[in-house]
Each structure stands twice: as structure tokens, then as C-alpha cells.
Structure 1
Amino acid sequence: MSALVCGKRSSSSSSIFEELLHAPLPSSKRPRRSASAVAAASAVAAAAAGGGAPSPAAALRLSPGRPSDRCGGNLAHLRALFPEMDQQFLERALEASGNDLDSTIKSLNNLHLESAETNLSSAFIESGSGISPNIQLVTEADGVNNGGAEAVAENPPAVENLPTDGSGWVELFVSEMMNASNMDDARARASRTLEVLERSIITRAGAEALESFHKENLLLKEHAEAMLRENTVLKRAVAIQHERQKEYDQMNQELQHLKQLVSQYQEQVKTLEINNYALSMHLRQAQQSGSIPGRFHPDVF
């Protein structure tokens, strides 16, 4: 595999000094060339112009020997520095950097540092349960240059398998960073993952707010129904109390009327008693004054 990867660069190995010293790089690939590679190329060119011998490191990187031997040495050096990474990943990273050992080491170190920062940030996320290791947010990029970012942009995330807790997102971030081929691919993957995380948080927050609103609406509806029932009971109680009050008022009016009648009857009884007494007195006086023994009035008898 290493011979195949390095064989692609064999046609351009003879012109590497001209590419490093004279040919300007495109704007999209300039950030990938490290300062150490340019310095090494300048040192080799200066040594060649002065008649001296280049340094061993520069000779290892820029010697016009066989490409397979040079690539094999670079891969062996990368495997010694990064034993935990896959050999195919190292080969693609080396090919992406133009077989520049310093640039490849710098890119891999930056990727390793970003992965470490992601692992540190996962300590602040509370986890509920893990996720399946086969969950992938973005498909692996086919290219190792700018094509990595384009591949990430062209492949939409699998929203149906998104993690549901903090530990799942941490595993997803780590997996995406490990599958990244270079720094641009890692940045694109991280950006895409953060966008999906933001959309997931917004969606989940909206769903929770909707569910909370629905529950609150149900509680308010139940409370309103209970208040309506209580209002109906109160209305019936008020109506009954009103009827009783009307009956009481009517009975009170009748009682007052009866009291007035009783007082009138009592006055009439007193008047009649007085009249009866007067008549009895007149009758007694008449009987005493008009009684003549032995003689009767001729008109009467």
C-alpha cells in the first residue's frame, strides 16, 4: 500500500526543489505547507548553492532517491511517532501533505491536540447511557485535501441515529475526529457535528416546551372544569337560598298582617265590652226607676 501511495508522487519528485522555491501555491493549499518544510527546502537549496551537503533530515525528506524508499522511511517515522493511528490513515495524511514529513507531523499533532481538547470538554457533560459504536454523523471523506470538507458538506448527517445524551455526543465527536484525514476535514466534521448538535438541542427544547405547554394546558382545562362544576353548585345554592328568602319574606308579611288583625280584633272586643257594660247599666237603671208595683201602663197592657 505504501508503494502505491508513494508511486503517485514519483513523477513529481525531481521537481520538488522548484515547487518549494519558485512555484507559488494556490490559496487553498498554502496553509497546509508548514514553515518547517519551507525552511528545510531553503536550507537544502542554500547548501546546494554553497557546495555543502544537506542535513540528514532534509535529505530524508527531499532526496531525489527512489520514492518508495523515501515514503517507506517517512511512514516508519510516522508509525513510531503515532503508534495508535492506522497505517492507512497515516499514508493518506502523508499523501495529503505532499510527502512532507514535517507538515504531516504538524497536522497529526494538531489533530491529536484537538482530540484531547474534545476529551477534556466531555468531562463537563453528564452522561446517561452510551451509544452504539456504529453511529456515524458524517461519512468518511474520499479525499484528504479540500475534498474532505467537500465530502462532509455533501454527505448530510444521519439524523435518525443521533445520540440522546452527553456521553453519546462525546463518543460521536471522538469518532469523527479519529476518522478525519487532516485538519480541514477535522474542522469540517467538527463544524457539521456542532450544527447538528445545535439543531438537536433546539428541536429537543422545542419538543419539551410543547409537551410542557400541553401538560399545562390539560391541567388548566381540568382546573377550569372543576371551577365550572363548583360554579354550577354555587348557582344552585344561591337559587335555593333566594327561594327560601322569598318564602321567609312572604311569611313575615303574613305575620305582620295577622298581628294587625289581632290588634284590630282586640280593640273591637274592648269596644264591645264597653258597650255591653253601658247597656247593662242602662238596663239596670231603667229597671230600678220604672218599676211601680200594682199598676201597669194602659198602652202596654
Structure 2
Amino acid sequence: MSALVCGKRSSSSSSIFEELLHAPLPSSKRPRRSASAVAAASAGGGAPSPAAALRLSPGRPSDRCGGNLAHLRALFPEMDQQFLERALEASGNDLDSTIKSLNNLHLESAETNLSSAFIESGSGISPNIQLVTEADGVNNGGAEAVAENPPAVENLPTDGSGWVELFVSEMMNASNMDDARARASRTLEVLERSIITRAGAEALESFHKENLLLKEHAEAMLRENTVLKRAVAIQHERQKEYDQMNQELQHLKQLVSQYQEQVKTLEINNYALSMHLRQAQQSGSIPGRFHPDVF
């Protein structure tokens, strides 16, 4: 969310100040640049920042924008007068647009430094915190200029009381209402990032624990599945044996029925033979006659 806010603020403020950076300076005004500022920029090993480049480009306010410039000096006492003049000229002497651009530029640089400091500080930090705000400096020409370095976070609170103390301290150190709003915005954004980071860490830890539980559950299910497979195999063998025994039983039943039919047939035959024997015995015994072989 803060990255989106930073992107929106940077897109709104960069259009004006890019024109200031790329605008050519008259040859009569170029020698008026501060030698110390040029030396500091060359010693830094890179191109100067937009704020420094604007401070190195002097300009004179016109008579009709003197009231606007005085109002800007009252709202931004920590900024260099030449920087305010250049910002007012870049916005076409529009006071509201200039104030909005300066606020966006100030908050943009503050958020960038707060983000980098928050990443470097980590999560295991003590609740004592100090936000180092603006430092005063004097250039070679004797003009007073406030360094526009935004606050850098050294430590982050770990409880609600620490954040309350930080917020109260920032409000007490504010020079005006705009500074108080900027400080409150920076502090709330740091708090939001801290909450998101801790919530992400807790969610990651919870996900890790849940993953371990799921692994243990999967291992238990694999063991149960192995036991179940063995039980199914044993049951299958028993079922095969039962089927074989059932087939043998059916075969034996068929044999028994066949044997019973044979027994009945034999009984009928035996009965018929016994009847024939009786009839033969009765017909062979005639009274008054003797067997010829006897005599």
C-alpha cells in the first residue's frame, strides 16, 4: 500500500521538478553556483539529488509573486529560499500547486529513506526509537539552508506504548502543522509496514506448523494404508479359499445326490428280484407230486 502511495506521489511531483532539473541556466548565472555544493556533489560519486540541483540553481522572485513566496517561506521555513523560488516559477506562480508539489517531494524522499531504514533495521529491535529529522546547514554564500534529509529509522517499537511514545515525540518535534502532518504520515506508514511484516511472519510460521502437521498426518495415513493393504490381501486370500471350499462342497453335494439316486435304483432292483424269487418258489412247490430227481 505504501509503495502505491509512494508511486503516486512521485508521479505527481516529478513532472514539475524534472523541468527544473533539465532547464538550462543562463551563462550569467552559472558562475553563482556554490563551489562547496559542486564539490560535495562530485565527492558523492554521482549526480546530485533533485533537491540539491534545485538549490544550486538560483532565481529571483518577481514582484507579482512576492506574496506567494512569502507564504511559502512561512509554510516551509526549513527550505531554502532559492529552492522555493524555483519551485514557484516551475508551477507557473500557482501557490496551491507549489505547496502540493513541495509536500509530495518532501514525503516522497521521507518514505524512501524510511523504507530503506526499515528493511535494514529488521524485526528484532528494541522499543526505544528516535527519528532523526532535519539538520541545519550553512553554505559558502552564508545563506541558511535546511538539509532535506528525511528521518531515518534506527529502531522500531515492539509494543503499543512504544509507538505511542514515538508518535507523541514526533508531534512535539514538529515545527508547524504541515511538518506535523508529514511526521504523522511517515510514522503511520512505518507502523503499517511493521504490522504487515509481523503479520506476514506470523502467517509464515503458522503455515510452516500447518505444513508439519499435514506431513505427520500424511505419514500416518500412509502407515494406515499399508496396514489396510495387508488386511485386504489377507481377506482376498481367505475369500479365495472360501470360494474353493464352496466349490468342493457343491461338487460333494452333487455326488451325494447321484449316490442317493443309485441307492434308490438298487433298492428297487433288489425289491423286484426278491419278488421274482418268491414267485418262483411258490410255483415250484406243487402238492402230490415229487421231484423226479428224488426217485
TM-score of the pair, normalised by structure 2:
0.46
Kept after mapping to 2: 8 A contact 1:138/1:158: yes
RMSD: 15.7
- Which residue of 1 is the match for residue 147 of structure 2? 153
Equivalent residues, number? 295
Kept after mapping to 1: 8 A contact 2:21/2:50: no
- For residues 88 and 274 of structure 1, do their structure 2 counterparts lie closer, same or farther at Cα, with a shift above 3 Å needed? same
TM-score of the pair, normalised by structure 1:
0.45
Q: Judging by fraction of residues, say which structure has more strand.
A: 2
Query: Offset at 1:164?
Result: 1.1
Larger Rg: 1
Query: Offset at 1:70?
Result: 32
Kept after mapping to 2: 8 A contact 1:119/1:174: no
Query: Offset at 1:263?
Result: 1.3
- For residues 276 and 10 of structure 1, do their structure 2 counterparts lie closer, same or farther at Cα, with a shift above 3 Å needed? closer
Deviates more, 1:199-208 or 1:17-26: 17-26
- For residues 150 and 197 of structure 1, do their structure 2 counterparts lie closer, same or farther at Cα, with a shift above 3 Å needed? farther
- For residues 71 and 121 of structure 1, do their structure 2 counterparts lie closer, same or farther at Cα, with a shift above 3 Å needed? same
Provide the secondary structure at the position in 2 that maps to 1:151.
strand
Cα deviation, 1:230-273, whole Å, max 9, x if unaligned, reads 33333333333333333222222222221111111111112112
Kept after mapping to 1: 8 A contact 2:130/2:153: no
Cα deviation, 1:24-62, whole Å, max 9, x if unaligned, reads 9999999999999999999xxxxxx99999999999999
Percent of residue pairs identical: 100
Deviates more, 1:108-117 or 1:270-279: 108-117
Query: Offset at 1:63?
Result: 35
Cα deviation, 1:129-165, whole Å, max 9, x if unaligned, reads 9996852133563369999999999657665621111
Asked if 1:187 is matched to 2:155, the reply is no
- For residues 146 and 195 of structure 1, do their structure 2 counterparts lie closer, same or farther at Cα, with a shift above 3 Å needed? farther
- For residues 162 and 121 of structure 1, do their structure 2 counterparts lie closer, same or farther at Cα, with a shift above 3 Å needed? closer
- For residues 243 and 103 of structure 1, do their structure 2 counterparts lie closer, same or farther at Cα, with a shift above 3 Å needed? closer
Cα deviation, 1:57-78, whole Å, max 9, x if unaligned, reads 9999999999999999999999
Cα deviation, 1:187-228, whole Å, max 9, x if unaligned, reads 443333222212112211222222222223233333333333
Provide the secondary structure at the position in 1 that maps to 2:144.
helix
- For residues 284 and 198 of structure 1, do their structure 2 counterparts lie closer, same or farther at Cα, with a shift above 3 Å needed? same
How far, CA to CA, are the matches of 1:188 and 1:98 in structure 2?
A: 25
Kept after mapping to 2: 8 A contact 1:138/1:176: no
Deviates more, 1:109-118 or 1:58-67: 58-67
How far, CA to CA, are the matches of 1:281 and 1:150 in structure 2?
A: 153
How far, CA to CA, are the matches of 1:251 and 1:10 in structure 2?
A: 88
- Which residue of 1 is the match for residue 170 of structure 2? 176
How far, CA to CA, are the matches of 1:270 and 1:201 in structure 2?
A: 99
Q: Judging by fraction of residues, say which structure has more helix.
A: 1
- For residues 283 and 258 of structure 1, do their structure 2 counterparts lie closer, same or farther at Cα, with a shift above 3 Å needed? same
Uncovered stretches (5+) of structure 1, i.e. residues with no partner: 43-48
Kept after mapping to 2: 8 A contact 1:93/1:182: no
- Counterparts of residues 29-44 of structure 1 (less than 5 Å): none
Deviates more, 1:188-197 or 1:101-110: 101-110
